């Protein structure tokens, strides 16, 4: 049965340690993607590699670390990367399209809706969208970055309501320890919940030409799972490996979810919005929000922080400071301070608010 698939390929899989594109590897991945396309699947590719592909062509001796040098390398490398994909996938009569996104695009509901409509039309026309972060304008100082394309691939998978996210790495899945250091390490075949223990065994940074290690891939899997998308993290290196990963018997770890896909509004709330404040709630409110599916009422609020206004997004935490979720607040800080801990009837007598709920359940997304 045809499915929507997001495939993420990192820099280390596409380039050499010295930098520059490995045309043979791109040709291999093009063949794997083309096979899934021919099987009827709607394929989307999230690719890294622009900086790694471009810095040698510019003349830098090593991958640059200064922002403007990285952006210059990305500007050169992005063209080289797209040309390589166009040539290799063109051998299978597949047309590709380039889409460059930033974190700011996801934060703006109109812009991300436009991006989604573009992707939908491309898939309808049987074109493979090739998606990358717009490194020439994204900086940690000005426009917040995704950090790596693992995160971006999960957001794209959730946004497009994909059935699977395939994150390709040089490891054949997640292990209890680093198997390169401990031959007794055991591979974890399936994960249903990403616990602190899972994050602890995920390890640290990636390779010299990439940015994302196993930890970032686990975080991406968690985003996908929250969006109702199952994920696979593993190795795709031989003919048929991508098909095996899609079909459930790949060389890696599967991350299962029983959650339903989120609407664009809920995705924006949970993944893309920028919270303007933080509200602390008591144990009763925690149960009401996470188990009961209820709205947050003033009686459950203990503290609030930030300079927010009605209609802004705020983060909700428990007494221990753990994030529970995000929602659209209906109060100003002073109104909530005057209402915290009071019954709805008492709040109605004391404070003039348009809605008695601090956060209505329709304007809430759980992240716990």
Q: How many residues make up the chain in this entry?
A: 368
The predicted-structure confidence for 79-130, as pLDDT tens digits, reads as follows: 999 999 999 999 999 999 999 998 888 888 889 899 999 999 999 999 999 9
Which of 100, 95, 166 is closest to 131 using CA atoms?
A: 100
Look up residue 16 and give its two tokens.
């050499």
Which of 49, 50, 43, 72 is closest to 60 using CA atoms?
A: 72
Whole-structure pTM value: 0.82
C-alpha span between 29 and 230 (Å, rounded): 21
Q: pLDDT band for position 209 (50/70/90)? A: very low
Q: pLDDT band for position 244 (50/70/90)? A: very high
Mean pLDDT of the chain: 89
Q: What percent of the chain has pLDDT over 90?
A: 64
Which of 231, 295, 225, 220 is closest to 260 using CA atoms?
A: 225
pLDDT score recorded for residue 138: 58
φ, ψ dihedrals at 188, nearest 5°: -95, 115
Q: How far is CA 352 from CA 332, 334, 348, in A?
A: 11, 12, 7
- The region, left, alpha or beta by phi > 0 then psi within -120 to 50, assigned to residue 311 is left
C-alpha span between 327 and 341 (Å, rounded): 19
- DSSP per position, 182-213: -TT--EE-EESS--HHHHHHT-----SS----
pLDDT score recorded for residue 206: 45
Q: Return the DSSP state at 158.
A: H
Span 244-265, mean pLDDT? 90
pLDDT score recorded for residue 200: 81
Q: Domains along the chain?
A: 4-265 (3.40.1160.10), 275-366 (2.30.130.10)
The predicted-structure confidence for 3-13, as pLDDT tens digits, reads as follows: 999 999 988 89
The predicted-structure confidence for 37-92, as pLDDT tens digits, reads as follows: 999 999 999 998 888 888 888 988 888 888 889 889 889 999 999 999 999 999 99
Other Cβ atoms closer than 10 A to 160: 22
pLDDT score recorded for residue 312: 94
Query: Under DSSP, is residue 73 helix (H, G, I), strand (E, B) or coil?
Result: helix
Contact 301, 336 (CB under 8 A): yes
């Amino acid at each position: 049965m045809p499915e929507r698939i997001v495939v993420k390929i990192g820099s280390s899989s596409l380039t050499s340690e010295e930098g520059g594109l490995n045309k043979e590897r791109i040709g291999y991945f093009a063949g794997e993607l083309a096979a899934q396309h021919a099987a009827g699947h709607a394929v989307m590719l999230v690719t890294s590699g622009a900086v790694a592909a471009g810095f040698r062509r510019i003349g830098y001796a090593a991958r640059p670390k200064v922002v403007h040098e990285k952006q210059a390398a990305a500007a050169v490398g992005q063209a080289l990367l797209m040309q390589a994909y166009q040539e290799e996938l063109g051998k299978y009569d597949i047309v590709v399209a380039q889409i460059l996104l930033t974190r700011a695009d996801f934060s703006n509901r109109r812009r991300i809706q436009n991006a989604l409509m573009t992707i939908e039309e491309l898939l309808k026309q049987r074109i493979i969208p090739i998606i990358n972060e717009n490194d020439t304008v994204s900086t940690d100082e000005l426009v917040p970055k995704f950090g790596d394309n693992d995160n971006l691939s999960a957001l794209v998978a959730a946004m497009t309501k994909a059935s699977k996210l395939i994150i390709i790495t040089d490891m054949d899945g997640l292990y209890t320890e680093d198997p390169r250091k401990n031959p007794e390490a055991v591979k974890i075949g399936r994960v249903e919940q990403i616990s602190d223990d899972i994050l602890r065994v995920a390890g640290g940074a990636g390779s010299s030409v990439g940015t994302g290690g196993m930890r970032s891939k686990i975080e991406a899997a968690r985003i996908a799972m929250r969006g109702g998308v199952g994920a696979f993290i593993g190795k795709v290196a031989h003919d048929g490996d991508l098909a095996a990963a899609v079909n459930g018997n790949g060389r890696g770890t599967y991350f299962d979810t029983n959650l339903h896909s989120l609407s664009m509004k809920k995705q924006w709330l949970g993944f893309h919005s920028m919270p303007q404040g933080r509200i602390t709630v008591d144990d009763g409110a925690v149960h009401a929000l996470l188990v009961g599916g209820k709205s947050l009422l003033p009686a459950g609020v203990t503290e609030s922080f930030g300079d927010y206004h009605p209609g802004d997004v705020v983060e909700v935490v428990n007494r221990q400071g753990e994030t529970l979720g995000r929602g659209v607040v209906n109060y100003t800080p002073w109104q909530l301070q005057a209402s915290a801990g009071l019954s709805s009837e008492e709040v109605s007598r004391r404070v003039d608010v348009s809605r008695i709920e601090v956060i209505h359940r329709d304007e809430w997304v759980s992240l716990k």
